[in-house]
Chain A
Amino acid sequence: MDTFTVDIAIVGAGGAGLRAAIAVAESHPALTVALISKVYPMRSHTVAAEGGAAAVTLGQDTLEDHFHDTVAGGDWLCEQDVVEYFVGHAREELVQLEHWGCPWSRRPDGRANVRAFGGMKTERTWFAADRTGFHMLHTLFQTSIRYPSIRRFDEHFCVDLIVEGGRVQGVLVIEIASGDFRVIQAKAVIIATGGAGRVFRENTNGGIVTGDGMALAYRHGVPLRDMEFVQYHPTCMPGTGLLFTEACRGEGGFLLNRAGYRYLQDYGLGPAEPTPRNKAMELGPRDRLSQAYWHERQRGRTISAPHGEVVHLDLRHLGEARLRERLPQIYELALRYLGIDPSREPIPVLPAVHYTMGGIMADGTTASPLPGLYSAGECSSIGIHGANRLGSNSLTELLVFGKVAGLEAARYVNATSHGDAASVGALAEASAARALELLTRPRATERIATLRREMAKSMEDGCGIYRTAATLQSTCNRLAELKQRYQRVGLDDHSRPWNTEWLLAIELGYLLDVAQAMAHSALERRESRGCHQRLDGFEQRDDAGFLRHSLAFYRADDVPRIDYGPVKITRSQPGTRVYGAATEAARAHG
């Protein structure tokens, strides 16, 4: 088996992985970096982020406000010291990206422009039209080309972490074009593989967002934290789940029910002013908006459409010129995919799964409990999103904590030596044999797509916007059954070069493990907080019982063990989340 030896291996080359690689290359040019991705870096799902990246920018804005918006938005399940670091380093990272060439949208005076976003008290979201993630990703990828110490392994699929002697020592990958295995021996590994939205049926995520890094760390004993918190984005395309950015509402869009009524005013988010004020109505947080949709549907006030019950995202009053300038991609999506001109007709939308708040347990330095293993970005639970992420915090997170991961891993490897290559090789051989078994399995009776579809449907039915013990238990049971059937999954394709079916089968294994962590964490959390909402007697937040992070531990051939860990509170004691008119009232009293 080919072996490459480097100082640091980074799995995933989206925003976080690229930022980490650049941080290592800039600060420690003598360290070698393997940047591994199952796609070319510019295909990574960061590319699809639309709306923007948050950082305190305007004169009237403060770090304090960004901190409080984030912590309250997360329903106090945030690591407050980490949030404080995050808001304090957000702007310098966006400026850094500007210095690397990112084409941020500008004000007439030449400064970077900011727009309003849900749950944010002040306009602080930097944007590049409605292609912010695309521009950030391409800027990072192109900048990374400057650094000769970064060796890319494009289109290499990570099959396993190599853990030996109580620390991570590298990764096993498949070169997709040939189907050959390679070992990348490293002193530290940074996981930056993104989220796991494909666990659900209707989702905004690309096909590659299959929780790979989460599952790999989890199988090696690293807990997945707060996995029950899965964000539904309220405005997605029926049928496909494709995203209509929150910036549609940041720019002034309305949400209407079947009567053409701005229904959010009935859910504590009013008053319904012609231009929504920040943190009110359409600029409320995503969990509240998705929940309001659910209630409207229960009340029969949504609109029946070919792919389900929808509400309307109305952008008509913004006019074609502004839509073309600020939301060009949205305009194009509506026109081409739905045949709707958003300057003339409202867009039918419904909530779809968008983001996993939880992930690989990481401390404020991005380190996991497994020595040598770091994580950054959506795959990581560093603690800034709590029970509900605010839109535009995650693009900034990629940068702030991608950089931290790179610097911390570099610091660690400078004090660490490579382990024994022979034992790393032996572990890799054993792991490769397990992956190969899928290719040659006899008496395989189950089809990948069938299992994947049943999993996604079960997660949507049982672990969606509102949950009960009964629905969750039924999903947990179904997942256990699917894991059994996964042992019998078979392939049509038994060859090695570009066998994408083989990779789909391995990904399905990752998805099932991550799904179990989500469903069991949700079943055990007997309260309602942020985007985890229960209907079975646990409708209230329960700080005495559950102001704690859930920790899902992997158990082979069994369901996960769920444990809990403390939440770091520094200066914001849990309070009531207030939006709409109540925001002003709370401010007056505060």
Chain B
Amino acid sequence: MAEQRTVEIQVLRYHPQHDEQPAWQSYKIPFSDDTSVLQGLLYIKDEIDGTLSFRWSCRMAICGSCGMMINGKPQLSCHTFLRDLLPGPVRIEALAHFPVERDLIVSAGGFVGKLESIKPYLLPREPRALAAGEYLQTPEELERYEQFSACINCMLCYAACPEFGLNADFVGPGVLALLHRYNADSRDGGRAERMPVLNAEEGVWTCMAVGYCSEVCPKRVDPAHAVNQNKATSAADYFLRFLGPKRGPL
């Protein structure tokens, strides 16, 4: 058997019907070197306190459900290990900057609404019949957007973004990375249709280039880099408007 030690986990609890204010609650749990924070929370849920609520599923940092603040930093709980947080206590809160629905569960509706607003699907540059087979795309062309397609929608970057903290309408790093993912895809011709989102008041220019979003990203999507690329696109679009006759998008 693996060595069993215990560690204190403090969770910021909140129940919308019972609590006016969130309050800390402390639990003591056993752990070993390979115990994730998620496994710690599941132990609490199963053995100590079934009222503790949080989202989780895949356990392998791909479904994007289990983002939370762990010792003040946005992280996936399945991908963060208690061994690295010793001696504790480990303090866990809901993701920052989002409305809390209960305990560690934040409202994801705003994020999903933004994702839906940017036309996050291929708007083909040229139509192609299924019978003609796949669009050709070289590995180099794939590489131009592949990194930005790896976003798991975990929203950690929003919890890291000071601008989003000040202005909940800011489109934000993850969705701007997704927008860039489609704009940078050699098969896509939808850049002009997505420009209004970039140029809008809540678009790319809201970003103050802090870069913490990229630091916390568990999939190395580097949304800060995507936002920078979007700024270049938006700036070029702005200047080209004065260079008529009517120009197509870049």
Contact = CB atoms under 8 A, between A and B. Distances in A.
Contacts of A208: 57
Interface string A95-110: 1101111011111111
Contacts of B128: 99
Nearest to A242: B60
Query: Is chain B's binding surface mostly helix, strand, loop or mixed?
Result: loop
B146 A111 contact: no
A113 to B, nearest CB: 9
Contacts of A106: 137-139, 141-142
B226 to A, nearest CB: 15
Interface stretch (B21-29, B147-155, B160-168, B233-241): B147-155
Contacts of A48: 58, 60, 62-63
Given A206-B57, A501-B51, A42 B121 contact: no
A491 interface: yes
Given A45-B58, A501-B45, A109 B121 contact: no
B134 A498 contact: no
B46 interface: yes
B60 A333 contact: yes
A101 B62 contact: no
A499 B17 CA distance: 12
A48 B59 CA distance: 10
Interface string A22-54: 000000000000000001101111011000000
B133 interface: yes
A98 B135 contact: yes
Nearest to A336: B79
B57 A45 contact: yes
Contact of B53 (A135, A242, A338, A499): A499
A101 B15 contact: no
B112 interface: yes
A79 B49 CA distance: 47
Interface string B51-70: 10111111111111100000
A131 interface: yes
Contact of B150 (A96, A131, A493): A131
Contacts of B17: 495, 497
A108 B45 contact: no
Nearest to B105: A498
B116 interface: yes
A492 interface: yes
A583 interface: no
A42 B150 contact: no
Q: How large is the interface on A (under 10, 10 to 19, 20 to 34, 35 or more residues)?
A: 35 or more
Nearest to A97: B134
B193 interface: no
Given A104-B134, A106-B137, A336-B79, A206 B58 contact: yes
B238 to A, nearest CB: 27
B58 A100 contact: no
Contacts of B187: 101
A103 B139 contact: no
A535 B163 CA distance: 64
B120 interface: yes
Given A131-B150, A206-B63, A491-B50, A101 B58 contact: no
A243 B62 CA distance: 12
A431 interface: no
Contacts of B178: 142
B124 interface: yes
Contact of A110 (B51, B59, B64, B137): B137
A181 to B, nearest CB: 17
Contacts of A206: 57-59, 63
Q: How large is the interface on B (under 10, 10 to 19, 20 to 34, 35 or more residues)?
A: 35 or more
A45 B121 CA distance: 21
A495 B182 contact: no
A47 B46 contact: no
Contacts of A498: 53, 101-103, 105
A99 B79 CA distance: 33
A143 B157 CA distance: 23
B142 to A, nearest CB: 5
A42 B133 CA distance: 27
Interface in A101-134: 101, 103-112, 131, 134
Interface string A235-271: 0000110110000000000000000000000000000
A134 B130 contact: no
A539 interface: no
A567 B94 CA distance: 52
Contacts of B200: none
B120 A145 contact: yes
B98 interface: no
B85 interface: no
B70 to A, nearest CB: 15
Given A45-B57, A108-B139, A110-B137, A497 B121 contact: no
Contacts of A274: none
A62 B186 CA distance: 31
A145 B121 contact: yes
Interface string A303-340: 00011000000000000000000000100110011100
A449 B50 CA distance: 10
A537 interface: no
A273 B176 CA distance: 48
A108 to B, nearest CB: 6
A448 interface: yes
B249 interface: no
Contact of B57 (A43, A107, A333, A497): A43
B51 A492 contact: yes
Nearest to A98: B134
B83 to A, nearest CB: 10
B63 A43 contact: yes
B145 A103 contact: yes
Most buried by B among A101, A108, A243, A499: A101
B139 A47 contact: no
Interface string B184-222: 010110000000000000000000000000000000000
A52 to B, nearest CB: 15
Nearest to A505: B50
State the 8 A-B residue pairs at the shortest beta-carbon distance, nearest first: A110-B136, A492-B50, A449-B46, A101-B122, A206-B57, A498-B102, A493-B51, A501-B50
Given A208-B57, A333-B60, A493-B53, 16 more contacts: A42-B153, A47-B152, A100-B121, A111-B133, A145-B115, A177-B101, A207-B59, A239-B34, A242-B60, A306-B2, A495-B51, A498-B53, A498-B103, A499-B53, A500-B53, A501-B45
17 contacts: A42-B63, A98-B134, A100-B121, A100-B122, A101-B182, A103-B146, A103-B149, A131-B150, A145-B120, A177-B101, A206-B63, A240-B34, A333-B60, A337-B34, A492-B49, A497-B102, A501-B53
Interface of B: 1-2, 15-18, 34, 45-47, 49-51, 53-65, 79, 101-103, 105, 108, 112, 115-116, 120-122, 124, 128, 130, 133-139, 141-142, 145-146, 149-150, 152-153, 178, 182, 185, 187-188
